[in-house]
A and B are shown apart, each in its own frame.
Chain A
Amino acid sequence: MGGQGDTGATAQGGTGQLHGGAGQGGAGQGGAGQGGAGNAIEVRALRKSFGRTVALDGLDLTVRGGEVHAFLGPNGAGKTTTIRILLGLLAKDGGEAVLLGGDPWRDAVALHARLAYVPGDVTLWPGLTGGEIIDLLGRLRGPRTGIDPRRRQELTERFDFDPAKKARAYSKGNRQKVALIAALASDAELLILDEPTSGLDPLMEAAFRECVNDERHEGRTILLSSHILAEAEALADRVTIIREGRAVETGTLAEMRHLTRESVDAELARPARLDGLAGVHDLHVDGTRIRCQVDHAVLNDVLARLTEAGVRSLTCRPPTLEELFLRHYSTERATAGASR
């Protein structure tokens, strides 16, 4: 474990840079944070340890009212711990957390009446039927956010769910549907979904995306914790990526892309020279074919050189979220490896 300290230190260095960049990109976010009123979730420098394990190490997270916010990170990054603190199940060790304008620990009961939660690993009471559990969870939330029977019926059909079976007979996907229907059929202002599609088949995943889009149009706020990047890319207005208990990037997908590189793939009339240029990475030259990653700042210069050489075909595409995410993690791993 001698490398652990090195990894942490380098990761922090790298994080600082990227995070600083993200801050510029999300200037509007800072403003909203100061205003405060429009934000459903405001987390600043949140800390939580379990014994010697540090789960959250100064996490920042802002979810604006009415947006779908994806909360991304690999397993063990601290997503579920954050959510549990926001639900008042765990006490924070330090930092600030504000949920719907209240203190998640002190005002838990009043706040819970305004939100619905889908846990990542849904365990149910084996002797109760799925339908009973959906109704029960709705009633426990209170009359204000209870279950709308018409919506419950509609969701049951949409998810192709049999509510008359005992929970012990449900597969993982069906258990997930119980929690999803109970949350989506409610009238809550805020939905907190912790990896809601794990265990769902692709058809049901599509049904889930439709539902989230419907909710967005009704003006609900959704915090969607996930490690499925395609899902976040398709649904989220803004994204926060966390690693080892800290937010390493946050902003809209466009902002995050703006800060990073474009993939350029060009077929030219004559060979062109790009290798001297700062801001060009992963350059592959194969005769007249050029592939590379280009920083936004120098994109114009690169295009100029390419047109000079005569462009026959050109694809220039922003990185997918997956590429962003992986590059982020692999860079840090590479730097950590190098420093070791």
Chain B
Amino acid sequence: MTTSRAAWTPRAGGALAGTGELTRLAVRRDRIALPAAVYVIVALVAGTAYSFRKLYPTQAGRAALAATGESNPALRFLYGRLDGDSLGSLTTWRYGIWAAIFTALMAIFVVVRHTRADEEAGRLELMGSAAVGRDAPLTAGLLPAAAASLVIAGLLWLVLPLAHLPAAGSAALALGIGGCGLAFTGITAVAAQLASTARGARGIALGALGAAFALRGVGDAAGAGGPSWLSWASPLGWVQLARPFAAERWWVLGLHLAVFAAGLALAFRLAAHRDHGAGLLPDRAGRPAASRWLSGPSGLAWRLQRGALAGWAFGFAATFAASGAAAKGVGQLFGTSSALQRAFTRIGGQTAIVNAYLAGLMLLAGMVAAAFATSAVLRLRAEETSGRAEPVLATAVSRVRWGLSHLAVAVGGSALLLAVAGLATGLGYGLRTGSPGPEAARMLGAAMAQLPATLLVAGVAIVLVGWWPGGAVAGAWTAVGAVVAISLFGAALQLSHWGLDISPFTHVPKLPGAAVTLRTTGTPLIVLSLAALALAAAGLVGLRRRDIG
């Protein structure tokens, strides 16, 4: 009886009672992902500062790099504005905004995970029935993201001066990056009250982040003559508008804190005025009956994956158009470092440098498309473990037909993504050089040459789904990770030929640039395609033989 009476006694702290326990639980659930994210972000910025020091030891080299960065609108769109040509300014230019984006992404995912996702899954209800105050779950949900943002700021503040950057500028850059994390913690807190699902809350917050990137991108690219004030409307823009390492404007950093505070105040107000489990935005009603498109397993697979595919395609279009537009200045960019210049003239001068850059972009497109294709194939496994495959396979749908329906999305989707990447790169580059048509056609071909290697990587996923379903998710993503690591770092790590050959992308002709003949271009592509086909067939055979569920 004493225990039950104790539970009835209101605890000290009132609305915040239990926050400590809930926060400890949240931190425990994030004990690996959160430190890893903090480490990657700090290492990225500090590593850039350190490597710029090695690559651009002279004032002249830095001035040339700064001039290129400033004169190219596409680079300004991607990286932002430059104030001066000191090592600190260049570091702020190259990774200030991107580190802020990564910090904001970390905040968005962590906040949604501990607020709306818990509520949607019903875990919060269980905790809410315990002796926990009304404001405790939201407070505990926000604390890990806010604390991680502050840790990032603190570590950068400590580490950047060790890379010989001035203390004041280091502090301004560190606070700007950490401040973005805080600002998006506040924004996501509001999003988690608006939407009734974790997916919806992430969508709202990611949309806000995308808008912040676009606003400052247009503002930064516009230069003095255009609407450069747009950058002031974006928390990401504030990182560089605080001018770290160039006569710091400290008050700008207060804007992040203001957004954080306003977001928190609004979120707690909204949370107090809504029911548990409900969002403020109503769930839209859908069709009461299926359209004629939703009539077979393929219609279902397409319906399940089309949203994700549209998101990937949009991301591909924006990224590759901007990266393609940046290609024109890329020769000069490398030219600014004497070490890099020597390396690149050895491959063959200006045209060769641009081609090598474009071929690198296509390799990147191929690998990211492989990640999409892998996730599309693994959807089979997700459908199975969630129990949603069972009602489908209990109808007149064979396992092979069911498997093929998702494979079709993987193949068609990655082909679409590569086409988007090729066309966007070609148009971005071509519009700046004055020949969009031929460039788009050339790059479309170069992008599509990646498709067999992309599908071969995803083929690993279908073989695992067929033969080793328990390890399919981990195994398939390990394969993607290994291929990316070998393709990006294999040469630098001086892997043997045998090691490099493991990655199918090693065998893809380096287009544009390489000579196109049937033997040098056609043979490897045909062999890769046949290998991908063989893996798909092997996977489907396994799927037919094993137990489902």
Give the interface of A toward B (CB within 8 A).
84, 87-91, 108-110, 112-113, 115, 117, 119, 121-129, 131-137, 139-142, 145, 163-166, 168-169, 179, 192
Contacts and interface: CB of A to CB of B under 8 A. Distances in A.
Given A84-B549, A91-B547, A125-B388, A135 B290 contact: yes
Contact of A89 (B197, B288, B303, B390): B390
B304 interface: yes
A89 B549 contact: yes
B548 interface: yes
Given A91-B547, A140-B296, A140-B392, A123 B290 contact: no
Nearest to A130: B288
Interface string B383-398: 0001110111111111
B294 A135 contact: yes
Given A89-B549, A140-B297, A140-B392, A135 B283 contact: no
B283 A165 contact: yes
A302 B546 CA distance: 58
Contact of B397 (A132, A134, A140, A168): A140
A327 to B, nearest CB: 34
A212 B372 CA distance: 45
A139 B289 contact: no
Given A89-B394, A141-B396, A128 B303 contact: yes
Contacts of A91: 545-547
B283 to A, nearest CB: 5
Nearest to B200: A168
A109 B392 CA distance: 11
B287 interface: yes
Contacts of B225: none
B393 A132 contact: no
A140 B396 contact: yes
Given A87-B394, A131-B289, A137-B391, A123 B548 contact: no
Contacts of A168: 197
A129 B286 contact: yes
Interface string B277-313: 0000001111111110011110110011001000000
Contacts of A125: 300, 303-304, 388
A288 to B, nearest CB: 45
Contacts of B394: 87, 89, 112, 115, 117, 119, 192
Which 8 A-B residue pairs are closest in the complex by CB-CB distance?
A135-B290, A129-B286, A140-B395, A113-B396, A131-B288, A117-B394, A132-B290, A123-B387
Given A123-B386, A140-B397, A165 B391 contact: no
B309 to A, nearest CB: 14
B287 A132 contact: yes
Interface in B494-530: none
Given A140-B297, A168-B197, A131 B396 contact: no
Contacts of A121: 387
Contact of B289 (A87, A123, A132, A140): A132
B283 A169 contact: yes
B547 A89 contact: yes
A129 B283 CA distance: 12
Contacts of B197: 126, 168
A109 B397 contact: yes
B399 to A, nearest CB: 8
A78 B398 CA distance: 25
A124 B386 CA distance: 9
B286 A165 contact: yes
Q: Kindly state the interface size class of chain B when it binds its partner.
A: 35 or more
Contact of A90 (B392, B397, B548): B548
Contact of B287 (A113, A122, A164): A164
13 contacts: A91-B546, A109-B398, A117-B394, A119-B394, A133-B290, A137-B391, A139-B290, A140-B397, A142-B395, A163-B288, A164-B287, A165-B286, A169-B283
Nearest to A165: B285
B287 A131 contact: yes
Contact of A164 (B286, B291, B296): B286
Contacts of B294: 128, 132, 135-136, 139
Question: Looking at B290, B387, B391, which has the most chain A CB atoms within 10 Å of its CB?
Answer: B391
Nearest to A166: B286
B304 A129 contact: no
Contacts of A164: 285-288
A31 to B, nearest CB: 31
Nearest to A144: B396
A169 B283 CA distance: 8
A89 B499 CA distance: 40
A127 B304 contact: yes
Nearest to B289: A131
A129 B287 contact: yes
Nearest to A88: B393
Contacts of A108: 393, 398
Contacts of B300: 125, 136
Contacts of B390: 84, 87, 89, 119
Contacts of B287: 129, 131-132, 164
A109 B391 contact: no
A139 B296 contact: yes
A179 B391 contact: yes
Contacts of B286: 128-129, 131-132, 164-166
A90 B288 contact: no
Nearest to A48: B547
Contact of B396 (A109, A135, A163): A109
A96 to B, nearest CB: 18
Contacts of B547: 89-91
B548 A119 contact: no
Given A89-B393, A113-B396, A131-B290, A139 B295 contact: yes
B290 A136 contact: yes
Nearest to B294: A136
Contact of B548 (A89, A115, A142): A89
A140 B303 CA distance: 15
Contacts of B304: 125, 127
Question: Looking at A108, A134, A142, A192, which has the most chain B CB atoms within 10 Å of its CB?
Answer: A108
Contacts of B284: 166
Contacts of A140: 296-297, 392, 395-397
Question: Looking at B284, B285, B290, which has the most chain A CB atoms within 10 Å of its CB?
Answer: B290
A179 B388 CA distance: 12
Given A90-B549, A115-B394, A119-B394, 4 more contacts: A132-B291, A133-B290, A142-B396, A169-B283
B297 A127 contact: no
Nearest to B399: A108
A271 to B, nearest CB: 48
A114 to B, nearest CB: 9
A131 B547 CA distance: 30
A104 to B, nearest CB: 11
Contacts of B285: 129, 164-165
Given A90-B548, A109-B396, A119 B387 contact: yes
Nearest to B392: A140
B494 to A, nearest CB: 45
A77 B416 CA distance: 49
A139 B395 CA distance: 9
